[in-house]
């Protein structure tokens, strides 16, 4: 099982995604069409210095962008757009106090729904629910009916734990705006509320609206897996754009669906493709190794387990998995090293200790076997397997 995106992350992730929502009507092809905030977008088009800072931020250099905008606001401290961009860049660079100060100043200079969203998100990220509430009350009369102000209210409702209230608000917003980030956030809320069919439908809308966003694609795979819609999951992994999900997760989910449909050979090929990926996700590689072991594809299982273990050197379960694979390949002496390591890392797992003793028994290592068996019987006195093993693997056999 590959871990899903945790619900606690969806507000910070949404705040980032909202920066790059493509407007309904793009006016130019200058690289700024995808800037979601209308006022900031026009300011970037009118000011090359601001635009360069924006592009630097979008390229992932948040600290460089922050420094650039700091220089700009020194010469134009009352520019609400420069202050807004400084708040965004400072937040991305982890400068919380500077981000909050800049966003507050931008909001004082000019009421703006997008600035409200980013300021509320910054405050909630610090756990300051009362301060976020205060911002909403202060700006409500200045931004009547503003959809971004309503979005910020949804943020606060989620932080307060009122997911049902946030659902009503987000459903209204998504119906009126029909953007991918709104559909994605609504899907997370619906899943948390236990409405799996509606959550699946919402994430499907998000994918349809933004086919290249890997986060939406991955969550679609997760929703289809949870619904046990194996045919739907196979179809989703084969759609144009499905490859946007990195780390070999697309073939992993395809393999999982094919396995559940009883198509073992096709499933094995898909799990093998996970490892063929340039940089496979360790969890996907580990899960693929386990499935390949069950399918009897031991050589492929070994490759997958080693790839996963390279990224998780102290993962006892992976050491044990690789040991089992090597045992199936008739390489018991090599597998013993991994049985030993698994037992060292997690000494209170009786099954791993049992498999270690069995391996020692198979290799005829009498002295170490007897020592390991004695310790296991002391540590797990109620486990009958060790009693039977002592009877069936006596010294000298």
**pLDDT per residue over 300-309, tens digit each?**
999 999 999 9
Can you give the pLDDT at residue 198?
A: 96
Fold designation for 228-312: 1.25.40
pLDDT mean over 16-32: 52
Q: Which residue has the tokens 């006022």?
A: 39
The residue count of the chain comes to 397
Can you give the pLDDT at residue 391?
A: 78
Distance CA 200, CA 177 (A): 19
pLDDT mean over 246-267: 96
Those residues whose C-beta lies under 8 Å from the C-beta of residue 382, and which sit 6 or more positions away, are none
pLDDT tens string 72-98: 999 999 999 999 999 999 999 999 999
Q: Are 111 and 139 in contact (CB under 8 A)?
A: yes
Can you give the pLDDT at residue 199?
A: 96
pLDDT mean over 101-121: 96
Average pLDDT over the chain, rounded to an integer:
90
The H-assigned helical ranges of 239-365 are 249-260, 264-276, 282-294, 298-311, 316-328, 332-345, 350-363
Distance CA 302, CA 293 (A): 8
What are the extents of the domains in the chain?
A: 228-312, 337-397
pTM (predicted TM-score): 0.78
Looking at the chain, the whole-number percentage of residues with pLDDT higher than 70 is: 91
């Amino acid at each position: 099982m590959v871990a899903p995106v945790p619900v606690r992350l969806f507000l910070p992730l949404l705040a980032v995604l909202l920066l790059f929502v493509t407007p309904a009507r793009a006016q130019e092809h200058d690289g700024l069409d995808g800037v979601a905030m209308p006022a900031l977008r026009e300011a970037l088009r009118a000011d090359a210095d601001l635009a360069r800072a924006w592009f630097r931020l979008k390229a992932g250099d948040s600290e460089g962008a922050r420094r650039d905008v700091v220089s700009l606001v020194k010469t134009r401290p009352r520019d609400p757009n420069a202050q807004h961009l400084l708040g965004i860049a400072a937040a991305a660079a982890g400068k919380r106090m500077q981000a909050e100060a800049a966003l507050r100043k931008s909001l004082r200079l000019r009421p703006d729904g997008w600035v409200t969203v980013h300021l509320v998100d910054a405050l909630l990220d610090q756990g300051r629910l009362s301060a976020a509430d205060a911002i909403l009350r202060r700006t409500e009369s200045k931004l009547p009916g503003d959809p971004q102000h309503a979005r910020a209210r949804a943020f606060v409702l989620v932080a307060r734990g009122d997911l049902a209230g946030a659902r009503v608000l987000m459903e209204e917003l998504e119906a009126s705006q029909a953007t991918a980030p709104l559909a994605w956030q609504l899907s997370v809320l619906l899943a948390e509320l236990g409405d799996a069919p509606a959550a699946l439908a919402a994430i499907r809308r998000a994918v349809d609206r933004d086919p290249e966003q890997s986060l939406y694609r991955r969550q679609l795979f997760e929703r289809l897996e949870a619904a046990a819609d194996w045919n739907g999951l196979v179809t989703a992994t084969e759609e144009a754009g499905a490859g946007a999900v990195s780390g070999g997760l697309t073939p992993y989910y395809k393999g999982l669906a094919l396995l559940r449909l009883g198509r073992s050979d096709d499933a094995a090929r898909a799990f093998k493709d996970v490892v063929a990926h340039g940089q496979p996700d360790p969890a996907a590689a580990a899960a693929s190794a386990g499935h390949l072991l069950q399918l009897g594809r031991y050589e492929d299982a070994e490759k997958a387990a080693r790839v996963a273990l390279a990224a998780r050197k102290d993962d006892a379960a992976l050491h044990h998995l690789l040991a089992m694979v090597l045992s199936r390949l008739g390489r018991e002496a090599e597998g013993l090293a991994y049985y030993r390591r698994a037992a060292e890392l997690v000494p209170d797992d009786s099954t791993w200790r049992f498999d270690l003793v069995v391996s020692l028994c198979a290799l005829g290592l009498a002295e170490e076997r007897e020592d390991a068996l004695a310790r296991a019987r002391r540590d797990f006195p109620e486990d009958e397997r060790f009693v039977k093993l002592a009877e069936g693997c006596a010294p000298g056999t």
